Amino acid sequence: MTQQPTAVAEKPTVRPDPVQQQRTFPRWLKKPLLHTISLLIGATIVVPIAFGVLGGFKDNGQLTTNPIGLPKPWDFSKYSTILTSGAFWLQLRNSTIVALGTTVLVVGLAAMAAYVFARFSFRGREILFTVFAIGLMFPFAVAILPLFILLRSLKLLDNPLGLILPQAGFGLPVTIIILRAFFRTIPAEIEESAVLDGCGRFGFFWRVLLPMARPALATVSVLAIVASWNNFFLPLVIFNDPTWWTLPLGVQRFQTTQYSADTASVLAYVILSMVPALAFYAVAERQLIGGLTTGVTRS
């Protein structure tokens, strides 16, 4: 994009290829074209969501005759019924409890283990680390059925721990790997001086390392929260009783019972369930994108 015609003019002999002088389209067309493409793709994302938001303000008759346009009249009853029903708030609370429980557990345990993997040298360290790293090769979906059998014999069905413990266990590999990499960047001198000042191993971990690792801890926490928030497969098999349904399960169940009868309410339910996720994205966008990309591209 930053063409430098002067530089090209200075070295006309480097590559006397006439093709390179031809541009596929005129320069003045480029910006409008880029904007058009961006707007079109933006519309692909916004239009279905807008359809959902507006659909929630229609009654089902309107949805059939007029799925695209603005509601007339606006019907606020779908959203207000859901917001006053209790089930939605219960599921929101359950999702929050499970996400926080999972995150505290996985980040706490992973930080302790990552500290050892990063800063102790002992026989078998790499083998032990590899055991955790192999966990990355286990897609969560693969373990659903044996996990169900296991949780059933532990009497953890219809119990939030039945969701928190497996999610934390499956979150350990990523979390340990990211935190270990971060802990390794903290200079050994800091640990030495902390030890000289009378800080024990635990004191250094708790009072020096964890505070220094705050950005990395934020990143892994955000990843754990999003993963837990969106989990559907395990809640689907372990929660029979609506008391502990999380939002994705609640949305899916609401959809299976109301889909044909009351489509507008389903749209309202889906849209409301998107709000917390989008709000969280607005707040934690930097940690989320940072966490996803640092792993993939070495910075």
Largest CA distance in the chain: 79
Is 128 a residue that touches another protein (CB under 8 A)?
yes
Stretch that binds another protein, among 74-82, 86-94, 104-112, 210-218 (CB under 8 A): 104-112
CB of residue 92 to another protein, shortest distance in Å? 13
Angle value at C-alpha 105, between 165 and 247, nearest 5 degrees? 60
Residue 73 token pair: 């009249």
Of positions 41, 83, 190, 283, contacts another protein by CB under 8 A = 41
CB of residue 89 to another protein, shortest distance in Å? 17
Residue count at the site for another protein (CB under 8 A)? 134
Is 122 a residue that touches another protein (CB under 8 A)?
yes
Burial of 137 (0-12, 13-18, 19+ CB in 10 A): exposed
Distance (Å, whole) CA 4 – CA 2: 6
- What number of helices (H) and strands (E) belong to the chain? 15, 0
Question: Any idea which residue has 């659903």 for tokens?
Answer: 144
Residue 141 or residue 214: which is nearer to another protein going by CB? 141
Is 289 a residue that touches another protein (CB under 8 A)?
yes
Which residues 132-191 are close enough to bind another protein by CB under 8 A?
132-150, 165-166, 168-170, 172-174, 176-178, 180-181, 183-184, 188, 191
Of positions 101, 222, 244, 268, contacts another protein by CB under 8 A = 222
Count of alpha carbons within 13 angstroms of residue 288, beta-carbon side: 12
Residue 294 token pair: 């640092």
Is 237 a residue that touches another protein (CB under 8 A)?
yes
Residue 160 or residue 166: which is nearer to another protein going by CB? 166
**Per-residue binder mask for another protein (CB under 8 A), 256-275, x = binder:** ---x---x--xx--x--xx-
Is 3 a residue that touches another protein (CB under 8 A)?
yes
CB of residue 211 to another protein, shortest distance in Å? 17
CB of residue 272 to another protein, shortest distance in Å? 10
Angle value at C-alpha 58, between 52 and 64, nearest 5 degrees? 85
Residue 48 or residue 76: which is nearer to another protein going by CB? 48
User: For residue 119, which of 185, 211, 178 has the smallest C-alpha distance?
Assistant: 185
Q: Which residues contact 141 (CB under 8 A, 6 or more apart)?
A: 233
Residue 84 or residue 120: which is nearer to another protein going by CB? 120
CB of residue 86 to another protein, shortest distance in Å? 20
Distance (Å, whole) CA 96 – CA 284: 16
